[in-house]
Amino acid sequence: MLIKNKAIVISKVRYRDNDLIVTCFTKQKGLVSYLVRGALKSSKKSSKAVYFQLLSQLQIEENSKVNQKLQYIQEVKSDYIYKSIHTNVFKSSIAMFLAEILATVLKEEEQNLQLYEYLEVTFKWLDYQEEFSNFHLLFLLNLTQYLGFYPETTTIDAPYFNLSNGLFETQSSNTYSVSGENLILLKRLLGINFDELNTIKINSKQRQSFLNLVLLYFELHLGSFKKPKSLQVFNQVFN
**Domains of the chain by residue range:** 1-81, 85-239
Please give the pLDDT value at position 42.
65
- Asked if the domains 1-81 and 85-239 are classified in one and the same CATH topology, the answer is no
Please give the pLDDT value at position 108.
81
Report the alpha-carbon distance of residue 216 to residue 210 in Å, rounded: 10
Q: Which CATH architecture has domain 1-81?
A: Beta Barrel (2.40)
What's the whole-model pTM score?
0.93
Q: Which CATH architecture has domain 85-239?
A: Up-down Bundle (1.20)
Please give the pLDDT value at position 92.
95
Output DSSP code: residue 7: E
Report the alpha-carbon distance of residue 105 to residue 235 in Å, rounded: 21
Going residue by residue through the chain, which has 239 residues, state the pLDDT in tens, using 9 for 90 and above.
788 999 999 999 988 878 899 999 999 999 999 998 877 776 554 567 889 999 999 999 998 887 788 998 889 999 999 999 999 999 999 999 999 999 999 988 889 999 999 999 999 999 999 999 999 999 999 999 999 999 999 999 999 999 999 999 999 988 999 999 999 999 999 989 999 999 999 999 999 999 999 999 999 999 889 889 999 889 888 77
Contact 30, 71 (CB under 8 A): no
Contact 85, 123 (CB under 8 A): yes
Contact 190, 172 (CB under 8 A): no
Pairing relation of β-strands 30-36 and 71-80? parallel
Output DSSP code: residue 28: T
Which residues, at least 6 apart from 81, have a Cβ–Cβ distance to it below 8 Å?
none
Nearest residue to 160 (alpha-carbon basis) of 137, 142, 180, 189 = 180
* β-strand partners of 59: 6, 77
Please give the pLDDT value at position 47.
63
Report the alpha-carbon distance of residue 140 to residue 117 in Å, rounded: 15
Contact 131, 197 (CB under 8 A): yes
